[in-house]
Amino acid sequence: MSEDAEPVENISGGPGSGGSMDTFEPSENETRAAKVVDRLGELYWQKTYGGQDAFECLVRTILSQNTSDVASQPAHDALMDRYGSEEDEVDLVDALADAEQAELAETISGAGLHNQKSARIIEIAERVREEYGGEDDFDAFVREEPAEAVRETLLAMNGVGPKTADCVLLFAGGRDGVFPVDTHVYRIYRRLGIAPPDADHEAVREVLEEKVPKGKCGFGHTASIQFGREYCSARKPACLDGPEACPLYDLCDRVGVEPASGDVVDPAETVGS
Ligand code: SF4
């Protein structure tokens, strides 16, 4: 994902993305990571996760790779218009497995890397059809099989990385305890000092899934993305304007951020300095 401006209402995949409104209570004896997520709960709306169609969710996350939601959402809509008409009761897996690559690439051209993404989508659709039959059986697999088995299966698909697999587990499978790590999550929790400054994406995910209560991980993921856009951006974290500018100031170590001088570096660059 890029640092481009993205629509704030995109949190949780948007109102039509499945799941339902929810609230959660701050728990006692919280870790600092859990306190951060509770504080984000005071800032942003909360909902439960799950309910998206697993294959569509997979396609959506592939389209969003290396681009912003602003660019990938119209590509997703165009793809669904052409290949996913519910009125015709078309199985999206079949439609995409049989798609002509040049036509699919042209349909999703707004998402960038459209030749590569169209080839991946067709390859994955063929694989899902061969192994699961169609959309409904793939949905059942993602929702019902052990999360680790689903994750491994998804990761074995060409073009599916850890973030994509975790988003499918969260948004389609409704699995608790899954905290996908995108570029915002990766930056924020190392700045906060909750994950080591030189941790890789997997290490940040492991810290968060250990420290944040399972039922709060999904909200934590989407709320952190929104917080990263609104407050803790890559180049201009809000705290450069003073403590009162950031609602997480008292919970943050500001690793790599020097409000006094205005210097901002990746937390990894502070290691050994
Ligand atoms: S205090 Fe600064 S570095 Fe920490 S979360 Fe807030 S904006 Fe980000």
Q: Does residue 17 lie in a domain region?
A: no
Is there a single domain that holds both residue 137 and residue 188?
A: no
What six digits make up the tokens of 6?
A: 């993205």
The CATH number given to whatever domain includes residue 185 is 1.10.1670.10
Q: Determine the Cα–Cα distance for residues 111 and 22; give it in Å rounded to an integer.
A: 32
Domain end (from 115, 145, 172): 172
Domain end (from 172, 196, 222): 172
199 CB within 6 A, ligand 1: no
Q: Does residue 162 lie in a domain region?
A: yes
254 CB within 6 A, ligand 1: yes
Q: How far is the CA of 248 from the centre of ligand 1 (A)?
A: 6
Kindly list the distances between the CA atom of residue 233 and the CA atoms of 87, 143, 180, 190, in Å, as whole numbers in the listed order. 42, 34, 18, 13
238 CB within 6 A, ligand 1: yes
Q: Does residue 134 lie in a domain region?
A: yes
Is there a single domain that holds both residue 195 and residue 92?
A: no
Which amino acid appears at position 8 of this protein? V
- Which ligand 1 atom is the nearest neighbour of the CA of 247? 6
Domain end (from 145, 172, 199): 172
Longest dimension (CA), the chain: 61
Is there a single domain that holds both residue 186 and residue 77?
A: no
Is there a single domain that holds both residue 64 and residue 40?
A: no
The CATH number given to whatever domain includes residue 152 is 1.10.340.30
Q: Candidates 248, 250, 255, 258: which one to mutate for ligand 1, based on the most atoms within 8 Å of Cβ?
A: 248
Residue 136's contacts (CB-CB under 8 Å, 6 or more residues apart) are none
Q: Residues 21, 27, 217, 9: is their CA dihedral positive or negative?
A: positive
Is there a single domain that holds both residue 151 and residue 197?
A: no
Q: Does residue 9 lie in a domain region?
A: no
Is there a single domain that holds both residue 158 and residue 193?
A: no
Is there a single domain that holds both residue 58 and residue 164?
A: yes
Local confidence pLDDT in tens for the 273 residues of the chain = 333 333 333 334 433 445 555 556 656 668 999 999 999 988 887 666 677 889 999 999 899 888 877 888 899 999 999 998 665 577 999 999 999 999 999 999 988 889 999 999 999 999 999 999 999 999 999 999 999 999 999 999 988 989 889 999 988 888 888 999 999 999 999 999 999 999 999 999 999 999 999 888 988 998 999 999 999 999 999 999 999 999 999 999 999 999 899 999 999 999 976
| Domain tally, the chain | 2
What range defines the domain where residue 233 resides?
34-48+179-270
Q: Which of 217, 242, 233, 140 is nearest to 184 (CA)?
A: 233
Q: Whose CA is nearest to atom 2 of ligand 1?
A: 239
Packing angle, helices 201-211 and 217-230, rounded to 10: 120
The DSSP line for the chain is: --SS---GGGGGG-TTSS--B---PPPSS--HHHHHHHHHHHHS--B----S-HHHHHHHHHHHTTS-HHHHHHHHHHHHHHH--TTTT--HHHHHHT--HHHHHHHTGGGSSHHHHHHHHHHHHHHHHHHH-SHHHHHHHHHHS-HHHHHHHHHTSTT--HHHHHHIIIIIT--TT-----HHHHHHHHHTTSS-TT--HHHHHHHHHHHS-GGGHHHHHHHHHHHHHHTS-SS--GGGG-GGG-TTGGG---TTEETTTTEE--GGGGTT-
Q: Candidates 231, 263, 264, 265: which one to mutate for ligand 1, based on the most atoms within 8 Å of Cβ?
A: 231
Q: Does residue 206 lie in a domain region?
A: yes
Q: Does residue 5 lie in a domain region?
A: no
Kindly list the distances between the CA atom of residue 253 and the CA atoms of 32, 218, 265, in Å, as whole numbers in the listed order. 11, 24, 14
Is there a single domain that holds both residue 42 and residue 110?
A: no
Is there a single domain that holds both residue 137 and residue 196?
A: no
Is there a single domain that holds both residue 65 and residue 127?
A: yes
Q: Does residue 196 lie in a domain region?
A: yes
Q: Does residue 24 lie in a domain region?
A: no
Q: Candidates 32, 184, 185, 239: which one to mutate for ligand 1, based on the most atoms within 8 Å of Cβ?
A: 239
Q: How far is the CA of 255 from the centre of ligand 1 (A)?
A: 9
pTM for the structure as a whole: 0.76
Is there a single domain that holds both residue 185 and residue 158?
A: no
Is there a single domain that holds both residue 87 and residue 150?
A: yes
pLDDT number for residue 67: 80
Q: Whose CA is nearest to atom 1 of ligand 1?
A: 249
- Residue in the structure block whose two tokens are 């997997």: 202
